[in-house]
Structure 1
Amino acid sequence: MRVRPQLKPISVVQRPAEVILVGRALEATYLDDVDGSVTALLRLLAEGRHTIAELPAALRALGFEVGEADVADAVRALDEVGVLLRAGSDDDLDPATRRRHESNLRFYDLFAGLHRTSTDFHRAMAAADVLLLGAGGMGSGILQSLIGLGVGWVRLVDFDTVEEKNLARQFAYGRDDVGRTKVDAARDWAARYSPGGTVVEAVHERVTDVASIRRLGAGASLVICAIDSPDDVHLLVNEACFDLGVPFVTGGLQYSTMFYWSVEPGVSACRRCLELNRQDEAATMPALLDRSVVLPAGRANRATGPVAQLLAGLVTLEAGRYLTRTDPPVAAGVYHTVELADGMATVRSPWPRHPDCPLCARVAPARSAAALSTAG
């Protein structure tokens, strides 16, 4: 294959005897350039017209004698710092798909390189099968985002019907859907929004135990939990995903605290680990437990449209990291919170594996994130 490396559309700053490549906000690459040959190479790479073997001749035409080995080493180094793409890789997709997923492909450019292209990431998403538990405020938003990304199949599970109050934050539904089951209304919305795209399988069912989640998740690449009942649903999903051997992502809103986190069985700490860690902490703080609750906290849904959309976006971004492996999951065994009523303060709180976790103990430690890098 005649690979044509192309410089990503990043800023290139030239200083005396030095070039600075500025791409991501937190990254900058400094290159020595005493004779201007590096700048010349970067200009050629920005065009994306030459293979690696053709670049030395193109540099000679500009007055720079650079050996083939040196050019190959330079291209390899630039690829390692993440500033190169494979030119023309979008051509591997049909024109309709390129038009439909243009913005998705350009997002994947952030993580693409010469060995894995944006098209590869898109195809991983298109091959994915997601079990989505819940079609409410967060779940319906996640469904919309998954369909926008072009995920191949979504098994959508919910037991509720559309109510008028849902229309404030659940934008897959309209007034004509009031009284219909959410999963049927969401499936029909998906067919109108993206005909021939994501297949949405509607399952009108209440999730009650590990066995039902395991059954619903058969063949899934990932589970997303967007329900909050029964009370121990996260533990149920956690156990089912160990049985299925797939990651899961969840999130929600507690009073004014928005949260999300994920679990990768055998790689990250799991939800059972979190429960065991909390029990250990409680045992060391008996004074805090010696009190009675006078008035229990009430349960009210405070998720406005913007809150539901923000939460759905964060959860779907994490799901996308698992499905495409663009970059490592950021919330695997890490509690992310956003305090909506306290200046939007954000906190990352990782929790460790617990030595007594029966689920993590049964998974071979050799199963690592690196081994899963080609998943999807």
Structure 2
Amino acid sequence: MRPRLKSLNTLTTDGTVVIYRRPTERIHLDDPGGGVRALVELLAQGAHEEADLPAELTRLGHPTTAEDVRDAIAALDDLRLLENADADPDAETLRRHESNLRFYDLYADLGRSSGDLHHRLAHSTVLVIGAGGLGGGVLQSLLGLGVARVRIVDFDTVEPKNLARQFVYGAGEIGRSKVAAAAAWARRYAPQTVVEAVEQEVTDAATIRALGADVDLVVLAADQPVGIQLMTNEACFDLGVPFIAGGFKLSTLFYWSVEPGHTPCRLCLELHRDDDLRGRDEWVRSGLRLEADPVNRTTGPVAQLLSGLIALEAQRYLARTEEPVAGGTYQTIEIGDRMRVDATGWERHPDCALCHRSADGGR
């Protein structure tokens, strides 16, 4: 294996080597004799097998042992500063996905390369329910990431008002099936990704189970019919795959995810809400409630921001770069409050039959 220092800014001064892991984070390495600088420079080249480094350092005037080099490399790898130069992707993948691979560099180490992480995306299938501003934006990001297959489901047609925030369509698609128009755009943009257009209304959990029978992840980008979040929750428990949902209400942008067997689920949240209502005064529970007509306030920038955040969460699930940030957690951005960001988690509910079933091994 040829360990290689990632492409990072490095400063060497008398007695110290400084590596900028992030713009706001510096790692200081004591270097009184210059041996650390010599090792870092060799690692930056990525041309030497680990076993050859002690002899190369000795040749440069810094005699050291194989054990010391091994310990130094292990310490740098723990800081995610190294990658395996022998695991570079092929030229075609690098040509098409260079920026994606450089992103994965942030999470790569000697045990898993950026190419390994990309490979997981390149062999994944995602079900996207809804082809509006959110679903279309997620579709765009998934194709850019190089996901192997996307199945997108909707039963709506393109209307003039959609063009304010749904950018996989143009004026020429008005009146056309959304999923057909989205699939046509996808074939032009990224023909290597298979996009299946399913013009169908989602009415129950059974429909979602059938649509997601072979997928690795579900993105719920629709808010109708009523109860679709719980339907998706139930179906994904049966399928054993995670799902992500999000939306924009009043001035609050939000998204969250559920991984069956690992995070609290959407039914847990519903049961907690029922408990909260039972604890309130009778007049709150039985009083007159005026429901406003539904208004879609999602502008193009909001749809793009939300779809990007959901696509990043999808990337975490598919590539396992790191733990998902929205598992059983409402991630919110208050658009009307100077973009205030918050994260609020919920716990498993003791009466949740789905989580209990998952804990019992599906029985």
2:37 to 36, 39, 42: 39
CA distance in 1, matches of 2:4, 2:128: 38
- Aligned equivalent of 1:325, options 320, 327, 344: 320
Q: Please list, as runs of the form range in 1=range in 2, the aligned pairs for 1:5-20 lying within 5 A after superposition.
A: 5-14=3-12, 17-20=15-18
What stretches of structure 1 of length at least 5 have no aligned partner?
368-376
Which amino acid is 1:127 matched to? Answer: H
CA contact (8 A) 2:19 2:26 kept: yes
Select 2:347's aligned residue among 343, 352, 365: 352
Which of 78, 89, 92 is residue 76 of structure 2 equivalent to?
A: 78
1:342 maps onto 2:337 in alignment = yes
Find 1:69's aligned residue among 67, 70, 77.
67
Instruction: Work out the CA distance in 2 between the residues paired with 1:288 and 1:182.
Output: 44
Give the conservation status (yes or no) of the 8 Å contact 1:267–1:365: no
Q: Give the equivalent residue in structure 1 for 2:169.
A: 173
Q: Report the counterpart of residue 209 of structure 2 in structure 1.
A: 214
Q: CA deviation at 1:115?
A: 1.1
Q: C-alpha displacement at 1:149, in angstroms? A: 0.4
Where does the alignment leave 5 or more consecutive residues of structure 2 unmatched? none
Q: Secondary structure at the match of 2:302?
A: helix
SS in 2 for 1:224: strand
Return the alpha-carbon distance in structure 1 between the equivalents of residues 122 and 250 of structure 2.
36
Letter in 2 for 1:349: T
User: 2 CA distance for matches of 1:362 and 1:122?
Assistant: 33
| 2:115 alignment partner in structure 1 | 119
Counterpart for residue 250 of structure 2:
255
Distance 2:289 2:205 in 1: 34
For residues 358 and 6 of structure 2, the distance between their equivalents in structure 1, rounded to whole angstroms, comes to 40
SS at 1:144 equivalent = helix
| Structure 1 counterpart of 2:307, from 301, 308, 312 | 312
1:34 partner amino acid = P
Write the distance in 2 (CA, Å) between the matches of 1:117 and 1:294: 55
Distance in 2 of aligned mates of 1:6 and 1:270: 41
Q: 1:285 aligned to 2:283?
A: no
CA separation in 2, counterparts of 1:288 and 1:88?
A: 68
Q: How far, CA to CA, are the matches of 2:18 and 2:275 in structure 1?
A: 50
Alpha-carbon distance between aligned partners in 1 of 2:292 and 2:144, rounded to the nearest angstrom: 37
Pick the aligned partner of 1:244 from 239, 246, 250: 239
State the TM-score, normalizing by the size of structure 1.
Answer: 0.92
Alignment size in residue pairs = 362
Identity of aligned residues (%): 54
Contact 1:224–1:250 under 8 Å retained in 2: yes
Q: CA contact under 8 A between 2:129 and 2:220: conserved in structure 1?
A: yes
Inter-partner Cα distance in structure 1 for 2:332 and 2:262: 22
Aligned equivalent of 1:107, options 103, 108, 111: 103
Aligned counterpart for 1:137 among listed residues 116, 133, 144: 133
Alignment check: 8 A CA contact 2:264 2:348 kept: yes
Shift of 1:21: 2.8
Matched, 1:276 2:274: no
Give yes or no for contact 2:216–2:241 (8 Å, CA) kept in 1: yes
Pairwise CA distance, 1:70: 1.0
Closer, same or farther in 2 for the Cα pair 1:156/1:279, shift >3 Å? same
Q: Secondary structure at the match of 1:157?
A: strand
Which residue of 288, 291, 300 maps to 2:295?
Answer: 300
- Cα shift at 1:33: 2.2
Change (3 A) 1:355 1:27: farther
The answer to whether the aligner puts 1:191 opposite 2:191 as a matched pair is no
Q: Show the counterpart of 2:52.
A: 54
Cα RMSD of the aligned pairs, angstroms, is 1.8
Deviations 1:38-88 (A, max 9, x none): 121111111111110111112112210110111011111211111111125
Contact 1:265 1:360 in 2 (8 A): yes
Alpha-carbon distance in 2 for matches of 1:74, 1:250:
43
